[in-house]
Amino acid sequence: MEDTGPKISELQKTFELYYDRYWDYLVSFSANFIKDRNLAEDVVQEVFQSFWEKLEHLEDWNNLESYLYSSTKNRTINAIKKNSQRIFEHALSLADYDINTPMHADSLVQDELVKILHDAIAELPDRRRIIFKMKVFQRFSNDEISHKLGISIYTVKSQFTKALAYVRGALAPHL
């Protein structure tokens, strides 16, 4: 029985070549969207782990670069979804916090996060800010916001997603 697939040493050399060549580029690519280098490194580590596991079975060796970038993009999107949920939950926990309450030494970090949250919300375009506040602070559903503002649910979802991404970007370096 003749082995027609690549040998392990060839696979390892190929893996090391692509790892050395693309690690920094893929981390930068992911970090450009995530805004968190450590999380981007985790994403790329997962990409290379999957790449190693699938390398022997890949059929199109001419597009390995495309494969790595596509995998990084998809895993970055998944990481953003997970991270957005965590930040959204954190924003909800801060929603009832009054920024004008007196500061205590043990709450300086919390106060700074609240200020960053409020500043980020204030910088949103008017419609987006209104939708974000209705959903996060007043806890209206997309349907309720749609009816109250006379806009489509798609517009509510789209504007909220953009607002959340902006707020997430403002909070992420501090969390």
Contact in structure between 113 and 97 (CB atoms under 8 Å): no
**Confidence band (pLDDT; 50, 70, 90) for 99?**
very low
Q: What is the mean pLDDT of the chain?
A: 79
> Could you tell me which of 64, 57, 62 has the C-alpha nearest to residue 21?
64
To the nearest 10°, the Cα dihedral for 99, 103, 106, 108?
A: 60
**Confidence band (pLDDT; 50, 70, 90) for 12?**
confident
The pLDDT of residue 119 is: 87
Residue 122, token pair as written in the block: 């204030």
Mean pLDDT of 96-106: 45
Does the structure show a pLDDT above 50 at 55?
yes
Residue ranges covered by each domain of the chain: 8-83, 96-174
CATH of 96-174, one of 1.10.10.10, 1.10.260.40, 3.40.50.720, 3.40.1280.10: 1.10.10.10
End-to-end CA separation in angstroms for the chain:
56
Q: Which fold has domain 8-83?
A: Rna Polymerase Sigma Factor; Chain: A (1.10.1740)
